[in-house]
Structure 1
């Protein structure tokens, strides 16, 4: 006989009732039938679960172990059934999800996965360079979920009223023109880029401060920073006017090479945020799982990131583990990563 959830519920009822007679009444069974079922369960689990006496039954040591597990398993299964039903009901009713995100590969990948997972759901998107703006839209109920990011261990925006869950942590790579002398190396020392101009998209986190601090540790101060949109950053790198900083998941682009920085001086945390009062737990868990899968796929599609992970003997899913920490400083209007 294989142990089933109904058997765990039977054991819980016996323990709560304190006697087979009372438990049989609760379960709507004859006592002999309940006693026979208990014996089958005990044979399956390898020993007596209850000691029988004049005052009823008392759990044995094995019985206490099994009952302790039922206190975890049964509520978890009940919660799963409820969340699955709510998620399916939302799909049948044409659920609407409003997604926000900063510039990067994950927002489109998440939309693609949600469209497959919940084809009846109406999906809308909004992009912004500002994590604070996205947090405000979440708090106001104008977005359901937002993909954002922070540098190193910096806290997410509006951590008091919103839930932020980590999707993954990436090393920060450098973008170079294919013709750049350093583009042929496996990794690049930050100090070797001391004479370069830099390109990055705007942001309101602490990344620019962390980058400046990393450059100072490498012995130089960045001589110029072009803060502009992603397409302009890519163009400036392709024509050799600048080098750029990017997430390791940055997609392969003609005329452009991405390389890891030696020692991983900077890292980027991908986050998914939502307002707890505005979301069912099952929906949030599903969107978070799909976001992590979207990141894993993006990491696998990036040749440079795949090589970086392969050199460490790690699969793309290892990106969910933290490769390091970056310094944290006061936050103002700052650069961020394409």
Structure 2
């Protein structure tokens, strides 16, 4: 006889009740039937699990070993079953999206909500791409919308399926009265004396940025790592220059310019678990994410052109170096 979870439940019930009579009542069995099952379990495990006496039953050394394992396994299996049911139900009823900072997550939520107004869409945000990927891997989220630097591997390699949504050159945010605003693009070396600001993350972007600066002939003297709103404020008041993507919305007091030769590239990725129910909707969600990115990029370029008083798609006049 192979040991099954129901056998462990019987052993635990006998130990908790302290007698076969009380255990049989709790399990809804006749005492002879419970005694017969317990004997089969003991034969399968190779020895007696309980010593029977006038005062009830007491676990043997082997019984204590089995009970120790049962007290770990039974709650774990119960939790697994509950999580699996919850995962399957939520995956079928709505969209659970995880993402890092940036406007693309909001744009994707808007598209899904418009397309399926009766279907709930929930979100979870974190600075950690690894945390978001882990949430998809263990069933707490359906999709991860994250980014990686250049050709870097996505978080959680081998566990999730990933598709590229889009690629953005990394741009620089300048105060609107910064001396370099008039340039069509800004050389990274021209920013050597600046303080920098950027949002945190657990990917390799910080290392890639530092390496790009070294190639440009300098090491950043100061980098303020903080939330998006604080990054924008530091740029607006001229305390620092910042890094952003092409989809960064036009913001009063801030001008966005490409970095010459695109030394840094950001890849937007959508990830999902290939065995989860949500995998059936991955192609549709990916298409929504790509459309959301394209529209956010176009809107950002249009607003920037309007603010600068130039035709849409035209670059600002070039200031002599």
Same fold (TM over 0.5): yes
- What's the offset of the Cα at 1:279? 2.9
Question: C-alpha separation between the residues in 2 aligned to 1:191 and 1:305?
Answer: 28
| 1:100 pairs with 2:104 | no
Cα distance in structure 1, aligned partners of 2:242 and 2:286 = 29
Match of 1:125 among 112, 119, 123: 123
Aligned to 1:161: 159
Task: Report the secondary structure of 2:185's partner residue.
Answer: coil
Name whichever of 278-287 and 298-307 sits farther off: 298-307
Root-mean-square deviation over aligned CA pairs: 2.1
Point out the structure with max Rg over C-alpha.
2
| Structure 1 segments unaligned to the other structure (5+ residues) | 1-89, 313-338
CA distance in 1, matches of 2:282, 2:247: 24
Give structure 1 regions of 4+ aligned residues with deviation exceeding 6 angstroms. 304-307
Quote the residue 2:227 is aligned against.
229
Q: Distance in 1 between matches of 2:136 and 2:123?
A: 13
How far apart, CA to CA, are the structure 1 residues paired with 2:281 and 2:314?
A: 36
| Structure 1 position 288 matched with structure 2 position 283 | no
CA distance 1:281–1:306, shift in 2 (3 Å)? farther
CA offsets per residue over residues 288-323 of structure 1, 9 Å max, x none? 00000000011101128987x9469xxxxxxxxxxx
If the length of structure 2 is used for normalisation, what is the TM-score? 0.66
Query: Equivalent residue for 1:188?
Result: 186
CA distance in 2, matches of 1:305, 1:210: 30
Partner of 2:12: none
Change (3 A) 1:218 1:94: closer
> How many equivalent pairs are there?
220
**C-alpha deviation, 1:281, in angstroms:** 4.3
Alignment match, 2:296: 298
The residue aligned with 1:178 is 176
| Secondary structure, aligned partner of 2:108 | helix
Shift of 1:276: 1.1
Q: Relative to structure 1, is the Cα distance of residues 127 and 176 closer, same or farther in structure 2, using a 3 angstrom cutoff?
A: same
Once the two structures are superposed, what CA deviation does each residue of 1:246-265 show, in whole Å capped at 9, x if it has no partner? 11110000000000000011
Name 1:251's counterpart in structure 2: 249
Cα contact 2:171–2:246 (8 A) shared by 1: yes
Partner of 2:271: 273
Residue 208 of structure 1 is matched in structure 2 by 206
- 2:25 maps to what in 1? none
Task: For residue 120 of structure 1, report the CA deviation from its aligned partner.
Answer: 1.8
Partner of 2:180: helix, strand, or coil? helix
Could you state the TM-score of these two structures normalised by the residue count of structure 1?
Answer: 0.62
Q: Tell me: CA distance 1:94–1:132, structure 2 relative to 1, closer, same or farther (3 Å).
A: closer
Which residue pairs with 2:69 in the alignment? none
SS of structure 1 residue aligned to 2:261? coil
Distance (whole Å) between structure 1 residues aligned to residue 245 and residue 190 of structure 2: 20
Distance, in Å, in 1 between the alignment partners of 2:137 and 2:156 is 8
CA drift of 1:199 comes to 0.2
- What's 2:144 paired with? 146
